[in-house]
Amino acid sequence: MPGERNVSAEGGAFITVEGGEGAGKTTLVKSLAECLAESGQRVRLTFEPGGTALGARLRSLVLDPELEMGDWDETWLFLAARASHVEEVLKPALASGELVFSDRYSDSTLAYQGYGRGLDIDRLRSLNAEATRGLTPDLTLLLDVQAEVGLARTRRRSSDADRIGDADLAFHQRVNAGFRALAAEDGGRIVVIDASRDASTVFVDAFRIVNDWLDARAGDS
Ligand code: Z5A
């Protein structure tokens, strides 16, 4: 919300990992959290939708392929999950000085519900600001991979139906184009990583980016 202070400015650091389906977010964020914890950082790993009891229930609703819902109904569920995530997990962890990684956050709503579903981006931005109480990431790693490649990865892994993942290829292409547009607008926060490469190469790049960012932040304080 305008004028509200980002809590991470006075406590820990808030890093999000974003990207389309099968970009490798979960794989990357787990390795990053493990390595940084080994190097002595106090790390918290969390995700959306989920990360709280309410978020877990909302996740199963919003991904349920048997359940029909309108695009705005879908959006409210993601926002409700986010609001509880911010209050119950993110703000306390940041206030206690942890380095917090979230596998997806508010950019996913802009990319999926805005660019993918075609809902009004400015309205989504202001709803995001309300749901997050103004908490924005300090750094976002955007894993960029062609939709066809990401979808092939997740379909190899599992054949489980999922209401959003099963949307057509054009939807996933709009989502990916949306993420790239967000990165072009906010290059100071969002760093694009080529995620078409193997997982260990992506990890090396991401680890360097995070460490450089942490060093620069320490130098500024
Ligand atoms: N959603 C939304 O619409 N609006 C919102 O506001 C939010 C979310 C927050 C659930 O999210 C859905 O909610 C998601 C967006 C929507 N739907 N879609 N699409 P999710 O994060 O739980 O689901 P996901 O993005 O679909 O996660 P995922 O399929 O697990 O993708 P991932 O985390 O990016 O990838 P991964 O699990 O790390 O890897 C997938 C497979 O690829 C796995 O077998 C890996 O071993 C393999 N992999 C990983 N990296 C590589 C590389 N570099 N090369 C080759 N293979 C790899």
Nearest CA to ligand 1 atom 25: 21
Instruction: Please state the pTM of the whole predicted model.
Output: 0.95
Residue type, 13: A
CA 218 – ligand 1 centroid, Å: 31
Structure tokens at 77: 């569920």
CA of 153 to the centre of ligand 1 (A): 9
- C-beta of 51 in contact with ligand 1 (< 6 A): no
Segments of the chain assigned E as strands: 13-19, 43-47, 99-103, 139-144, 190-194
Q: Chain centroid to CA 6: how far?
A: 17
Cα of 139 vs centre of ligand 1, distance in Å, is: 19
Amino acid at the residue 89: V
The burial class, CB within 10 Å (0-12 / 13-18 / 19+), for 9 is exposed
CB distance 21 to ligand 1 below 6 Å: yes
Compute, in angstroms, the gap from residue 140 CA to the centroid of ligand 1.
16
Burial class of residue 43 (count of CB atoms within 10 Å of its CB; 0-12, 13-18, 19+) = buried
Q: Mean pLDDT in runs of 10 for the chain (221 residues)?
A: 43 94 97 95 96 96 95 98 98 97 98 98 98 98 97 85 89 98 97 98 98 90 72
Structure-token match 């309410």, residue found: 54
- Among residues 107, 94, 82, 97, which one has the least CA distance to residue 191? 107
Q: Is 51 left (phi over 0), alpha (psi -120 to 50) or beta?
A: left
- Integer-rounded Cα Rg, in Å, for the chain is 17
